[in-house]
Structure 1
Amino acid sequence: MINNSKILIDSSFFDGIALPVFIKDLNGKFVYCNQPFVEFLGISIQQVIGLSDSDIRPRKFSVEYAKANEELFRLNKEQSHQLITHESSAKEKIVFKKIPLCNLDNDVIGWIGSINDGGPIDKSIATRNDKLTHRENEVLSLLSMGLSVKGIAIKLHISPHTVSHHLKEVYTKLDAHSKNEAVFKANS
């Protein structure tokens, strides 16, 4: 149950959704997020609730989020926007969908949003090595961007066990013993 001073929602519905979902109050503070959301960010729920984008994301992204949020409140209707990240040499497209959360008087009291990872914009992958399969290169590339095993699994729509299997294969094929060593050898 989400119980903020102005927001009261049964969160069990959102807990069962596979997409990352979040709810913010009027101040832009997170009052709820589901497990796929925190896995997408690679942090814990305790590191999200009560904080804003600027508290948990790099400044360059939080400025973009703030602009989109201002527009959402101004127009008071569903919003979809894309954010292009350049976390590595692979560009990623993230699609945000948000709708205003209104009380019974139709006053906006926050918003509900979801994230759909649009995936690579182009075919280039940050790490590319001919010894590795396409999927192994994808897994290593995402690992080099800082995603956790669970985050990679969500992004690639595979199980964390399968991600671990791919990483074992990567380390074996590249004779690497750490993430950094594998990324270095893949790009050499």
Structure 2
Amino acid sequence: MKVYQSNSFRSGCKIIFEKEPCLIESNEFVKPGKGKAFVRLKLRKLLTNQLIDKTFKSTDLLEIADIVEYKLYYLYNDGFFWYFINDKTLEDFSVEKKVIGVNKKWMLEKDICTIMFWNKKPISIIPKVFVKLKVIKTDLILKRNTINNSTKLVRLNTGAVLKVPLFIQVGSIIKVDTRSGEYVSRIK
């Protein structure tokens, strides 16, 4: 069992806390004038995506999480499982719908995704940062409404709905930031 000492905690480290894998999002070493030094951490639980604040003594140890990340190609889904393949080893993986979560609206076939495995089970998926998606439906905009509204809602070929500028039409290809779910630009 490998462990981190509290003075080795860094942002991005993956640890086991309360028998669950966590990602250290930020750390702060505090040495007060009186008393012993301690470390203040912001931890993101990787299974539930919950953010917690925790303080550790300078002598505390935490187990290193056995997390492996793979870049895999998305193949298809059957509504219950999403299927991926490793192009180097040709090993295929299936991921449950609950692990995919809201990321399903950013995934197209043949896209590369990063999948985190803990104890050989997929726990989270990270789609590409920017995706190019096709607009299949737009809201009707009345001329009198264009003064106050500079955006409209569109439906994309993956089922995602988002706000875009008024000049975007059905059939347009747009670039979307998957981290925020926002329109970036139109692709010509």
TM-score of the pair, normalised by structure 1: 0.29
Q: Which has the higher contact order (CA 8 A, sep 6+)?
A: 1
Greater C-alpha Rg: 2
Structure holding more strand per residue: 2
Structure holding more helix per residue: 1
TM-score of the pair, normalised by structure 2: 0.29
